[in-house]
Amino acid sequence: MKRPTSLDIAAITGVSQATVSRALSHSPLVNDETRERILSVAKQLHYKVDSNARKLRSKKIHTMAVLISADLDNPQNPINPFFLPMIGSILQYAGEKGYDIITSLQQPSDDWGTDYGFSRRADGIIFLGCKDFESYTHKFEYLNEVGDPWVVWGVNRPDCARLCIGSDNEDGGFKATAHLARLGRKRIAYFGKSSKEHPEFRERYEGYRRALQAAGLEYDPRLHRDCFLEREEGMNEVGRMIEEGVEFDAVFASCDLLAMGVLQGLNRRGIRVPQDVSVVGFDDLWVCSSLSPSLSTMRQDTEAAARVLVDGLSNLIENEDVRDIRLPAQLVVRESCGGLSRMN
């Protein structure tokens, strides 16, 4: 089947190519009856605008690039499962707003400033996470220099990013820890990163510290366990803590994957959750409700996130005002922190 062009439609309809173009881009400068005729012929021939020609000619190309933080050393599971529903909602919502999405993994070798804007493949970029913000700083700065709009999820670094969107991590860390304290837990451990290279985890850590203070609990560095995103790390780290003889009765893990590892580690050592140790995670991965014990966690609203990201980037592209947004993270109580049971 041959692909028809706007010239074909014009010839059949008996109008000029320009009028066809106008009719198809919903220009008001076209007679209703003419438009009807054009649209009907276009539909009959299954005509679609050549997106490349359109993008070449127009200033805006109505396309967003989504760059996903990925662990390329782990081909089995390169993308953090937290991002899955977010990607789904971004695809859905951006589609509704008329944006195409091109997706890519964050490659350290890439030159984002030119790979998208300069090659005119996208009007702007959404960064989903960023494993180590510091090491990418110069890339982001170059992106700013080039002038391409971009938004980043999670990382709160207004010094560098024109628009930062994420959950209110400090508040989330506070709520999680405060809940554990309210349950009477006195020796609450923090599992996760806390350095400035990982701003979103650092914030959760700061919330943890504030909650300890608010509850009158002393901070003990031995309860501060440095680990990152993997289940295995959580499992190993909790084992190490036990071997070191550190006493604890609760764990706030800065993400659910770590929390899952902690649950597994405790389980293997016969430590009961929540009777002996309460555990709260962060993210609310879909699997939390299927674990046993089911995992209490700070829920991040990925659907809202997707909307705010797409709207924010869209505003940047259109040169409208934007402002950073912190979405509230919400405590979801399940079995792993005692109290209510069988909830969800």
15 phi and psi angles, rounded to 5 deg: -125, 180
Rounded least distance, CB 311 to a copy of itself, Å: 16
Per CB under 8 A, contacts with a copy of itself among 82-101 are: 84-85, 87-89, 91-92, 95, 100-101
- Select the residue interacting with a copy of itself from 267, 325, 327, 339 (CB under 8 A): 267
Question: Pattern 134-163, binding to a copy of itself, x per CB under 8 A?
Answer: -----------xxx----------------
- Select the residue interacting with a copy of itself from 18, 25, 36, 50 (CB under 8 A): 50
Rounded least distance, CB 98 to DNA, Å: 13
Torsion, Cα 70 75 79 84, to 10 degrees, reads: 150
- Select the residue interacting with a copy of itself from 25, 40, 44, 77 (CB under 8 A): 77
Which one of 14-22, 33-41, 42-50, 149-157 is the stretch in contact with a copy of itself (CB under 8 A)? Answer: 42-50
Rounded least distance, CB 336 to a copy of itself, Å: 12
75 binds, among a copy of itself, DNA, none (CB under 5 to 8 A by kind): a copy of itself
53 part of the interface to a copy of itself, by CB under 8 A? yes
Rounded least distance, CB 129 to DNA, Å: 31
SS (H, E, C) the chain: CCCCCHHHHHHHHCCCHHHHHHHHCCCCCCCHHHHHHHHHHHHHCCCCCCHHHHHHHCCCCCEEEEEECECCCCCCCCECCCHHHHHHHHHHHHHHCCCEEEEEECCCCCCHHHHHHHCCCCCEEEEECCCCHHHHHHHHHHHHHHCCCEEEECCCCCCCCCCEEEECHHHHHHHHHHHHHHCCCCCEEEECCCCCCCHHHHHHHHHHHHHHHHCCCCCCHHHEECCCCCHHHHHHHHHHHHHCCCCCCEEEECCHHHHHHHHHHHHHCCCCCCCCCEEEEEECCHHHHHCCCCCEEEECCHHHHHHHHHHHHHHHHCCCCCCCEEECCEEECCHHHCCCCCCC
Q: Which is nearer to a copy of itself, 212 or 253 (CB)?
A: 253
Q: Which residues bind DNA (CB under 7 A)?
A: 3, 5-7, 14-19, 21-22, 24-25, 28-32, 34-35, 47, 49-50, 53-54, 56-59
Per CB under 8 A, contacts with a copy of itself among 271-310 are: 286-287, 290-292, 302-303
Rounded least distance, CB 61 to DNA, Å: 10
Binding site for a copy of itself (CB under 8 A): 1, 3, 46-53, 55-56, 61, 68, 70, 72, 75-79, 81, 84-85, 87-89, 91-92, 95, 100-105, 107, 111, 113-115, 117-121, 145-147, 231, 260, 263-264, 267, 286-287, 290-292, 302-303
